[in-house]
Amino acid sequence: MKSIVKLEHLSHKYSSAWAIRDINMEIGNTGIVGLLGSNGAGKSTTMNILCGALNQTEGNVFINGINLREQPELAKQQIGFLPQTPPLYMDLTVDEYLRYCAGLRQVPKEKLKPAVKEAKERCGIDHFSNRLISNLSGGYRQRVGIAQAIVHRPALVVLDEPTNGLDPNQIIEVRSLIKEIATDRAVIFSSHILPEVQILCKEIKMIENGRIVFSDTMDAFNNYVEPHSMLIHLENPPSAAELAAIPGVTKVAFLTERQVRVHFNGDQDITEKVVAISIQKGWRLREISLDKSALDEIFKQLSSQNPQSHH
């Protein structure tokens, strides 16, 4: 895999406590990678270091093979960053602001105009060129934030919780914009909302207490968190032994006379089997529902295992 980002043993402490500890990861050249973690897990710290906005206590960041600490200017040319609090200047117009950002990112003068135009077009804000940023809605401000992150055509764009604080329609729009800008570059995107990462990302890195606790493809993650138990309500229930004899069932526990929790191995066709057998044997099935793991439970489960045991 050709990688745009490589983090090696990255650790950071703000004062006495470690905010992140021994983070290692590699990220490919296109597509969206999700950094998922609860509040305070260490997402912003990782992203700020990776973009050169914060100096790490230990470890190395390589952007396209360039050591960020040794050649910050060269490395930063390849990075676009939208921090959690977008650095917008409210009293500038969209054009003025994007021109200013492109200048900061060392876009040559003669290329300034086309660079700003392209970023505006890709982010759907062309018609607001002369509008003051203070007069834009939250969703459009976020588009301007994303436009400043791509104005110098970086190979990597880092977005720290870009949908935070937006209303549901704006979230959908910003998501499709993120998908669009990831077609020809790598995007790293952080969130504390699992379904958001599931919708957008091809890879997921889960961070908890400053450590990576899961790192794999989205498919592997979905497979991992698939339910392994279900709740069944039967009007005419059989014995526990009879339920336990269904192929794939690993444990049976009656909660009441008619309600039973059935644990099973990875086989996701189990519900169909239970429904079929129940009809055949006259158990009179009233209700069947898979137990979905809540995100905080998944985090707890993953963090209690060896860090970085999933690659």
Ligand X SMILES: Nc1ncnc2c1ncn2[C@@H]1O[C@H](COP(=O)(O)OP(=O)(O)OP(=O)(O)O)[C@@H](O)[C@H]1O
The footprint of ligand X (CB under 6 A) covers 14-15, 19, 37, 39-45, 84, 192
Least Å distance between CB 27 and ligand X?
A: 18
Residue (16 or 130) nearer to ligand X, CB: 16
| Closest distance to ligand X from the beta carbon of 190 (Å) | 7
**CA distances (Å), 122 to each of 150, 196, 260, in order?**
9, 22, 53
Mutual orientation of helices 138-150 and 109-123 as an angle, nearest 10°? 140
Distance CA 128, CA 181 (A): 20
Residue 186 CB-half CA count within 13 A: 20
Shortest separation between residue 12's beta carbon and ligand X, angstroms: 8
User: What does DSSP assign to residue 126?
Assistant: G
Q: Which is nearer to ligand X, 37 or 80 (CB)?
A: 37
Toward ligand X, which CB reaches closer, 39 or 256? 39
Task: Specify the residue, 36 or 146, whose C-beta has the smaller distance to ligand X.
Answer: 36
CB of 33 to ligand X, least distance (A): 15
**Burial zone of 127 (CB within 10 Å; 0-12 exposed, 13-18 middle, 19+ buried):** exposed
Instruction: Let me know if 235 is exposed, middle or buried by CB neighbors in 10 A (0-12, 13-18, 19+).
Output: exposed
Nearest distance, CB of residue 18 and ligand X, angstroms: 8
**Complex with ligand X: residue 162 or 238, whichever CB lies closer:** 162
Tell me how far apart the alpha carbons of residues 270 and 247 are, in angstroms, rounded to a whole number: 8
